[in-house]
A and B are shown apart, each in its own frame.
Chain A
Amino acid sequence: KAGVTQTPRYLIKTRGQQVTLSCSPISGHRSVSWYQQTPGQGLQFLFEYFSETQRNKGNFPGRFSGRQFSNSRSEMNVSTLELGDSALYLCASSLEQAVRTDTQYFGPGTRLTVL
C-alpha cells in the first residue's frame, strides 16, 4: 500500500501571500490530521478531518484552515503568511474504525519557508 503523500515537498513564499498544501491519505483511511513542526514549538496539532468534516482543531489562528474531499484527500490553507509560519507541515492519516484509537501514519511533510 502506498503511504501518505504530500505535495509539494518544498515551498517558498513571501509574507502576506497565501499557500495551499495537499495530502493524500493511505488508501482506505478516512481521517486526516495536520501538524506543524517548528524548532521552537515542536510538533503541534492543527486540525483533523473525517468524512469531510473538521472534528478537532488545535490552538491556531483562523488564518489556518483546511478541508477534506469525498475521496479523503485533504488540503490545508494558510492565508496572510507570516515569518513564523515557516515550518514543516505534516499530514497523518488513520483508519478510524468506530471503537478504538487508530495509529496515525505520517507523510514526508511539506517544508514551507516564508521570506
Chain B
Amino acid sequence: AQKVTQAQTEISVVEKEDVTLDCVYETRDTTYYLFWYKQPPSGELVFLIRRNSFDEQNEISGRYSWNFQKSTSSFNFTITASQVVDSAVYFCALSDAIDKPGRRALTFGSGTRLQVQP
C-alpha cells in the first residue's frame, strides 16, 4: 500500500527565513509520481510540482526548490526567503503510474501548516 508521511504538523518562521518541508513516501512500485500542492485558506489545492520516479534531478523555481532522493524515499520542499504570502498548508502526494488500471488516485500526506510571521 502507498503511504505519504509529513511528520511536521506545523512550522512557524519569521519572514525571510528559509524553511524546509519534509515528505517521506512508501510504495512498492518502481514507477510513480510525486507532487506538492499548496492549500491557502481559501481551500483550493494549488499544484506546485510533479516529479516522476526516474527523474532525481533537483528543481528550483524562483524561491521554491525540491530535493528528491530515492535512496531515502524523500521529496523535500524548501522555500527560500519566506514571505507572509507563503502561509498555507502544504501537501505532498503520491500517484502510481498511469499504466496500472485504477491507480491514478493521489495518496496525500497529512499536510504541514506553514505560518510565516511578518
Interface residues of A (CB under 8 A from B): 31, 33, 35, 42-45, 48, 55-56, 58, 88, 90, 92, 94, 96, 99-109, 111
- Total contacts A to B, CB within 8 angstroms? 64
A36 to B: closest C-beta gap in Å: 11
A103 to B106, CA, bound (A): 10
Contacts of B96 in A (CB 8 A): 101
Among B98, B102, B103, B111, chain A packs the most CB atoms within 10 A around the CB of B98
* In the complex with contacts A101-B97, A108-B43, A109-B43, A31-B104 CB distance below 8 A: yes
Q: Closest residue to B32 on the A side, CB-wise?
A: A101
Q: Which of A45, A55, A111 is in CB contact (< 8 Å) with B106?
A: A45
**Chain B interface (Cβ within 8 Å of chain A)?**
33, 35, 37, 42-47, 50, 52, 91, 95-99, 101-111
**Is B35 a contact of A48 with CB atoms below 8 Å?**
no
Distance A105 CA – B35 CA, assembled complex (angstroms): 11
Classify the interface of chain B: helix, strand, loop or mixed: loop
In-complex Cβ contact of B91 among A43, A94, A100, A109 (8 A): A43
Q: Are A42 and B108 also in contact (CB < 8 A) when A56-B103, A105-B47 are?
A: yes
Q: Is the CB of A104 within 8 A of B44?
A: no
Structural contact, A103 and B104, CB atoms closer than 8 A: no
B98, A99: Cβ atoms closer than 8 Å: yes
B106 and A104: CB pair below 8 A? yes
Contacts of A106 on B, CB cut-off 8 Å?
A: 37, 44-47
Q: Are A100 and B108 in contact (CB under 8 A)?
A: no
Are B43 and A111 neighbours in the complex by a CB distance under 8 Å?
Answer: yes
From B104, B107, B108, B111, contact of A56 by CB (8 A) = B104
Q: Shortest CB–CB separation between residue B42 and chain A, in angstroms? A: 7
Given A43-B106, A56-B104, 20 more pairs with CB closer than 8 A: A31-B104, A33-B105, A35-B106, A42-B111, A43-B111, A44-B108, A45-B105, A45-B106, A56-B101, A56-B102, A88-B43, A90-B43, A92-B106, A101-B97, A101-B104, A103-B35, A105-B47, A106-B47, A109-B43, A111-B43
